[in-house]
Structure 1
Amino acid sequence: MYKVMLAEDEAEVLGAMLKTIHWENYGFEVPIGCRDGAEAIRCVEEGEQPDVLITDICMPFVDGLELTEYVTKHLPDAIVVILTGYDDFHYAQKAIKYQVFDYVLKPITPSCLCELLERLKIELDQRSRSDGNSKEIVTNYFLNQLVHKKMDLSVISEYCRIYDIKFEGCYHVSALLDIDLPAQKTGAQNKSDDLLRYGLFNIAQELSQEYGVAVFQGREGLCNCIVSAADLESCFRLTGTLISHIAQTVHRALKVTVSAGIGEPVKSLDALYFSHQKAEKALESRFYYGENSILFSSEVDIKKSENIDYQNCERRLTEAVYTLNRTAAGDAVKELANQLKNTQAPLEKCVFYTQKLLMKMIMLADDIAGEQQADAMTKAFEGASLYSVSTLAQLVDRLDEMFDKAFEILLALKTSSSASQVAKAELYIKEHFNNPELSLNSVTEHLSVSTSYFSSIFKERTGMTFVEYLTQLRMEKAKQLLTFTDYRTYEIAENIGFSDPHYFCVIFKRTTGLPPTEYREMHKNQP
């Protein structure tokens, strides 16, 4: 509640104001009543610090304007309201000089006074919030300085006194908490991510009050905690308990998981930056340990990065692409991920190798399908924000997503390309079926494809081998000539590409079940 001082020389008016108004209902304590300005000044000198002064302007000894001048000088944050029975602009001018909040003519009614109190409450609340925000900003700045650089102990003590910060205990530890965010595909999620981090900070700040822990937002919106305790064991236990409590509450409230990095305890506040550095390293290890991890720097196994056998991963990817084997390509990705995890390479190195594998995929597409398809693949990979991932698992998922797109492009190309090539082959065969020299090799030379590849796609699309297809085509032509012409058997054989009439008769009987002469007798001149 806010404090009010009333300065009024008329006893009846002062008594009425004190007794008829329910001050508590408006957020104020029962006022301090003074019979004149001199008494009000004595109260201030004795330690009273009202938030509001309501004073009559005309009083003996010290009038309202003199009292206002004194209060403005000694209590600059206090709000002053002047009451007067004189409707004189001269007084208003002087009141304005002292930045008086309001100038009210007497007699003042209860309803008018209640309306005034409502406006005073709104003004005081706004000022209080503004002051609180300013204090929070400078306190936050000091705490960030404390964990990021070595400060003089006397400076730390002075700031702690000014900002009323207490670190009670012989050991101090820095802890960092962060939301486990999904890998971002674009920058559109940034705002919602900031809101989640702010939600984490608010929950941590509320829960930390029962633990006596300093909580503030640091760089990139991460939630920072400074825990103090009497001994090492208590320091670790208190930190672990608090962070587990925060993580569980955030998960229930925001439906997201939280990871934390906890530094090593230090015995002096001027060494807190060292604990904070350890906490940062521990939180970075979330990249390998995964989401929902509470990582103590003393327990994190930070390995020295070793050389990666990237060439073998690239070799396996090449084989997978040339055979259009998506599963084998996924195995190449898993091998790279396992190597990165075992050596605990930093994020930048992980992204570097991931980008190399993607570039290899584009080069292979260029070799197999040409520049146009390679460009299509490059566009499909654009906008993939690899640095936005929080864990190695997310990076692998992102790489797999892009390889899915790549294989879709290659498989679609294979389907459309094989259809086109088989259509060209059928046309070529129909145009040259009567050439005895027509063979599988001559067709593949015409199409500029390998014999094995052509045999595979031809059988896949027609359901027949090249020889079966050619034989069927020639036999259909032979049936037509036997039915509608008088050509001799050797002439028909020559007409459809058989240089040996006897061989033609053998193939015809094997296909139709009848020799050519009997077939002609059965179908002669049939429509």
Structure 2
Amino acid sequence: MMRIFIADDEEIIRDGIRNCIEKEADRFLFAGEAPDGELALPMLMEMKPDVLITDIRMPFMDGLELARLVRRTMPWMRIVFLSGHDEFEYAQKAVSLQADAYLLKPIDSVKLMCTLEEIDVRIKQEQQQYLSAAQNASRSDRESEVLREHFLNALLSGGATAADAAEQGRKWGLSLAARQYIVCLMRLGSGGQTITQVRALAARAFADQEEVLWFFRGSERLILLIQGEREDEVRERAYEAAQNLRHEIRQFLNLDTLTAIGMPVARISALPEAYRSAKETLWSASACAEGGVFGSTDFEGGAAHGGGFDFTAGGSLADKLRHASYEDVPQLVEAYFGGAAEEDMQSMLYRYYLLMDLLVTAARIAAELDSAEVVPPDDPQAVLKRAATLESTKEYASEVLGQLTRRSFRHQSIRYGGEIQRAKEFIRAQYSDSSLSLHMVAAEVGFSPNHFSTVFSQETGQTFVEYLTQVRLEAAKNLLRQSDSKMSDIAFMVGYGEPHYFSYLFKKHIGVTPRDYRMQTV
């Protein structure tokens, strides 16, 4: 179903368009709205609708500037311009931005619906054309693509020198001379048909982007090799490329993907390191998400595996077990036994000591949770037998920790109650700081941002943003009742740097404007 977003500074226009869309709820979905481009852009980045309907002339950021930014970051999005000014200059600029339609105000509901229907038909036709073209690719084209991919995969494996890269790159028409490189690893579903279709979508998405090289590694992994001059440039380009391709795959194939972005490297000979970093990030991300785009920095200072801890880092074993979830068990076991020297792990007695320490600690955590089922073994000989090989040692540890984490799931409120209370207190103390973010609060309570976001929502029934908004608006209501401060001053006092946005949020959540609320409470 085609999702539509509206950006217009006239509330009556937004209401009229929204009503038209909602009347056709079986065909179109109203995705959201904003009164100007500055507010619309972050919402568009988050919601990623199919169509943007935007007024050309708006305060703060006009529709033309909004469209330029959307074209760069979300090139798939269809754009419909609205204008009350029948001027050739505006129409000319709209054409230069590849607008799908240009409608004059006042908006005719029939014309609007016809325009949306035409866009919907074009989207479906393009989907069919691209997928058909992929299936009809010639045999010679496929053979050439296989050889090209073999060369690029050799770069990631360290099987090609920098000199080889330059020579072979020229053969395939690839420019590999850059100051910074970054590798993105996208996990796909299995199936040859899917690969053929994804290949066509990638070719479409990156047709005009020489700095983005894409190729398959095996049957279920797509690699994006991003080049640039600066580290921040390649990071930003990597996120844009990964998000854009993910959207195309979801829209055309109804398939979600998980993408990991590795650390940037400064030499082409370091590409194996960049690839290894992307693999580690994918492994971390797969423990907490089925789809999305994750960077290596998302897991620094505490992995987002659902447990909020980096199990390879320092800290007591008991703390790691207290914060582990069932999905964390494989990583925790690998980190626990993998931290020992390889020659030590050859000793059955050493494995036995490690295993006993793990079991005793797990039993202590179980006792804290009043879960009597997980207890240290009475028979050390039985444990010694399980420690006969490294494989059987890990297997037994996984069984015990799996049992512990499954039974401790119902005690999450006990495990996280203190942290969530501290987070709430920190938010209430710092809400006036306009820079207050989820990352800041997560760091305050010692969680990774992804894990804190998940736990906070589970424990409070609200997202972090919803709770912060609630706290700020309650403070604003008190100020409106108890002071004569100007609306703009109150906006700043409760953490909003933009008074217009504050007024928009206040009316959205409270039901009236701040001015009307003050008048009602006088």
TM-score between both structures, scaled by the size of structure 2: 0.34
